[in-house]
Amino acid sequence: MQPAPPPGFVPWRHGSPVLDALGPFASHDQDPLRAGFVVTDNKVNGRGFLHAGVISTFADVAIGNALAALSTEGGRYVTIGLTCEFLGSASIGDWIETQVTPHKIRGRVVSGSVVMSRAGAVVATAHALFVPT
């Protein structure tokens, strides 16, 4: 049985084929800048640690969706840049929470960053650039 997300988190509402394959994911029901997921067996590498590809993928969509939620211009974006720093690890059953910080939410290029943590310890940080579509 998979652990449940903490109170205040609901199933991710922004599906896509890749997220459906990697999921489940959760968003915060009151704060569009927070999201997260439980590390499950489909999210780990061969050594049992949270895979860098999952971190990168979720960082991209967490930042993009948070910026879209704050946008007054329609908020659909295409990623043009993503950098990630992998600073810690997580294993099956761990809850990973993300906190997005918007940096620029209007104009030709928008940007934001995210901190991904496990029990208060930073697992990864990322910064992304997007163009509106």
Per-residue confidence at 107, pLDDT binned at 50, 70, 90? confident
24 prior amide bond cis, ω within 30: yes
- What is this structure's pTM? 0.92
Answer for the pair 126, 81: CB distance below 8 angstroms, yes or no.
Answer: no
Tell me the pLDDT tens digit for each residue of 33-42. Answer: 999 999 999 9
Strand order in the sheet with 95-104: 9-11, 26-28, 34-38, 95-104, 110-118, 121-132, 77-86
Separation of alpha carbons 20 and 127, rounded Å: 23
Per-residue confidence at 71, pLDDT binned at 50, 70, 90? confident
Domain ranges of the chain: 9-132
Residue identified by tokens 């109170």 is: 7
Would you say domain 9-132 falls under CATH 3.30.70.141? no
